[in-house]
Amino acid sequence: MRIGLIGLPNSGKTTVFNALTKSTEEITSYSGQRVKPHIGVVEIIDKRLDFLENYYQSKKKVYTTIEYIDFVGLKEKVDKSELFSREELSLFKTVEEVALVIRNFSDPIIDEIQSNVNPLSDIETLEQEFVFSDYKICEKRIERIKKDLKRGVKSTSIHSELNILEKCLPQLEQGKPLRILGLKDEEKKILSGFQFFSLKPLLVILNSDENNFHNNQELVNIIEEKYSCVEIAGKFEMELSQLSNEEAELFMQDMDIKYSAIDRLTRKSYELLNLITFFTAGKPEAHAWTIKRGTNAQKAAGKIHSDMSRGFIRAECFSVDDLKKYGSEKELRNVGKLYLKGKDYIVQDGDVLRIRFNV
């Protein structure tokens, strides 16, 4: 999964990126330089996988990963230029979720050169940039299609495309993102070539001052009326990420932070994108896999290897929590908690699967 960190200049994107990926990219401090996007991979530590590794004495353990991309700050009033450079745009296309990093810390210089802290207004500014950019793309495409139709171009796909675009345009005209238009999956698929900004799932990272962290519940509630939101103290979390795990835990206790930024962000992202985790486990390796909620066993098997999906016979399946509770696979069998499932079984979060397949 790829998540793009997007925001106004100096909102703390690189700081948050460093915190999440334990990187040490330079904090550009007011420079507004167009540096290249940073890319970093984070392992999603999952205690359930640790348990499985230990239980099966696996030789190898593979967590799922999230890739974060730290983009350069978006300038306001971009109507004269494009939102992103060509290179950034092609990276943005690969992003499954946008995480808006919103400044909620005061800094005399940033306050002076940009504006005072105003998270709600910043979210709105960015959203309007997305909407405006999408509007231009949408309008242009509609014109193009209409010209083609006039010229006598005939195709059914062009009509369905036009239909959907004409549904999108008024929404954008009213300044509303396409995300909330309630488009069906088939419709989104038809639009996928355009890479509309305002259609991507969006999560707000409220980057709060370390001294004011936890005092922003009211603000978080307001943001959550429209968006999924995680509050983090970016600068503090960045400092934490450079410490050893033990030291970091002590500091977190001090700050009354139960879960690290990465834990909370991952949880929210999974929720937003409707993702779950299943496992495969044995002596050679314990492996966590990410799939969409509602995926059936045959498709899930395809995540592991395409042969497993093609030759799928059945899946032996139990939940990692049951294994913990009953202590062994033998006991699971005795109490009827080890199931044989067919290809249509909908895989659940925390399932351990063993796929039987023909080659």
Ligand X SMILES: Nc1nc2c(ncn2[C@@H]2O[C@H](COP(=O)(O)OP(=O)(O)OP(=O)(O)O)[C@@H](O)[C@H]2O)c(=O)[nH]1
Rounded Cα distance between 28 and 34, Å, is 10
Nearer Cβ to ligand X, position 105 or 270? 105
What is the identity of the amino acid at 208?
S
| E strands, 12-116, in order | 38-44, 60-62, 64-70, 97-104
Rounded Cα distance between 254 and 164, Å, is 52
255 binds ligand X (CB under 6 A): no
Residue 37 CB, nearest approach to ligand X (Å): 10
Of 4, 12, 37, 177, the residue at the interface with ligand X (CB under 6 A) is 12
Rounded Cα distance between 337 and 212, Å, is 48
The residues near 28 (Cβ < 8 Å, ≥ 6 apart) are 14, 35
Of 1, 2, 22, 27, the residue at the interface with ligand X (CB under 6 A) is 27
38 binds ligand X (CB under 6 A): no
Residue 27 CB, nearest approach to ligand X (Å): 4
Nearer Cβ to ligand X, position 103 or 287? 103
Rounded Cα distance between 190 and 213, Å, is 42
Nearer Cβ to Mg ion, position 14 or 64? 14
215 binds ligand X (CB under 6 A): no
Span 81-140, contacts to ligand X by CB under 6 A: 105, 107
Nearest residue (beta carbon) to ligand X: 73
Residue 73 CB, nearest approach to Mg ion (Å): 6
29 binds ligand X (CB under 6 A): yes
Name which of ligand X, Mg ion, none residue 308 binds, using a CB cut-off of 5 to 8 Å depending on partner kind.
Answer: none
Q: Give yes or no for a contact between 202 and 100, defined as CB atoms under 8 angstroms apart.
A: yes
Q: Which residues pair with 101 in a beta bridge?
A: 205
Nearest residue (beta carbon) to Mg ion: 14
177 binds ligand X (CB under 6 A): no
What is the identity of the amino acid at 82?
E
Burial of 296 per CB tally in 10 Å (0-12, 13-18, 19+): middle
Nearer Cβ to ligand X, position 168 or 223? 223
Interface ranges with Mg ion (CB under 5 A): 13-14
Of 3, 11, 123, 295, the residue at the interface with ligand X (CB under 6 A) is 11
| E strands, the chain, in order | 2-6, 38-44, 60-62, 64-70, 97-104, 202-208, 228-232, 275-281, 285-292, 312-319, 339-341, 351-357
DSSP secondary structure code for residue 129 in this structure: H
Nearer Cβ to ligand X, position 42 or 172? 42
Name which of Mg ion, ligand X, none residue 307 binds, using a CB cut-off of 5 to 8 Å depending on partner kind.
Answer: none
Residue 144 CB, nearest approach to ligand X (Å): 34
Query: For the packed helices 13-21 and 234-241, what is the interaxial angle rounded to 10 degrees?
Result: 30
Segment near ligand X (CB under 6 A); pick from 53-61, 142-150, 229-237, 307-315: 229-237
Nearer Cβ to ligand X, position 207 or 295? 207
Nearer Cβ to ligand X, position 12 or 165? 12
Quick one: which H or E segment has residue 299? helix 297-304
Of 235, 280, 315, 353, the residue at the interface with ligand X (CB under 6 A) is 235
Rounded Cα distance between 84 and 90, Å, is 9
Of 23, 58, 171, 207, the residue at the interface with ligand X (CB under 6 A) is 207
Q: Give yes or no for a contact between 207 and 105, defined as CB atoms under 8 angstroms apart.
A: yes
Nearer Cβ to Mg ion, position 32 or 282? 32
14 binds ligand X (CB under 6 A): yes
28 binds ligand X (CB under 6 A): yes
Nearer Cβ to ligand X, position 4 or 164? 4
- Percentage helix, strand, coil, to 5, in the chain? 45, 20, 35
Binding residues for ligand X, rule: CB under 6 A, are: 7, 9-15, 27-29, 32, 72-73, 105, 107, 207, 209-210, 233-235
